Structure 1
Amino acid sequence: MKTTEFMSCPIARSAQLIGDEWVLLVLRALFRGPQRFDDLQKQTTAATNILTSRLKRLIDAGIVSKVPYQEHPPRFNYRLTKAGLGLFPLLIEMMRYGDEWLATPEPSALRLRHLDCGKITRAGQICSECGKPVTLKNVTMETLGGLPA
C-alpha cells in the first residue's frame, strides 16, 4: 500500500495509533477511570520507558489527557478524552474476539457486568443476558473474583 493510500485508509490510521499491545493495555486500564502512572504500570506490567512512550503517543494523538494532581514533585493523572472514550466499543469487540476465537482453558480473568440488569455479560455491543446495548456508562469491568478490574 502506498503511503498516500495508507494514510487515506481509516483502518490503517487507527492501527498505526493503537495497534500495539501496550497501548491497548493502557486503554484497558484507563477505561476504569483516571489513573496515576504507578497504577498504570502495575496494571499493564509495562516497563517505565515503554509506558512513558505509549502515554506520550496517546497524549499527542488527543486520546489521553495529562492532568496534574501534585506540584512538588510533579505528579499526574491520565484520563481518556472524548476521542479516547470513543475507543470503548473497539476494546469490547477485541475482548469478544479474544473470548470467542483465542480462548484458553482457564476462564477469562476479565468480565463485564451490565449495570442495567446486574448480570455478567459476554463481551459485545449487546448484553447477552437482557439484550440491551452495552455502553461505557452501563458496564463495569471486573476481575474473576468480582472485583473491579
Structure 2
Amino acid sequence: MSNAHGNRAEEPAIKEQRVTKQRIAVGAALDTIDDFVSTQELHRMMYDAGSRVSLATTYRIVQSMAEDGQVDVLRNAEGEAVYRRCAASTHHHHLLCRNCGKTVEIEAPAVEAWAASVAQDNGFTEVAHTVEIFGLCPECSAAKAAK
C-alpha cells in the first residue's frame, strides 16, 4: 500500500513484515502450479494446504505481483483473470488452448515492432500491450479430428 505521498518505503515496518509473509505464502503457492489459476482457485489450494491468507489479501497480492511482472495474467474463455508465475523473464505473449487451457509462452518480435510503430505513428509514449492467441493445442486438435 502507498501512503499519501505514494511512497511505499515510508510504511511502518510491522505492516511490511505482515505483507511480506503473506506475499511469500502466495508466491510459494504459485511456484507449485504449472497452469494458470484464478485467484479463488489459488486461495482454495492455499487454504487446503493450511495457509490462512484471506481471499481479499490473496487478490491484492496477486494483482500486485501481476503489476510488478512477477506473474502472467490472461483472461480465460469465460473472461475471468487467471494467473501463473512467469516462466520467461522478458516480455512475452501466449498461445492459449481454448479447450484444455494449455499455454505456450512465445516471443514475438514482429508484434513488438508493430506495436512500437503504431504507437509512434499516433504520438503515444510509454505504451504497453498484451497479445493472447487462442486456438486448439496439438493434442486437442488431434482429439477433435479423431471424433
TM over 0.5: no
- Structure 1 length-normalised TM: 0.38
- Structure 2 length-normalised TM: 0.38
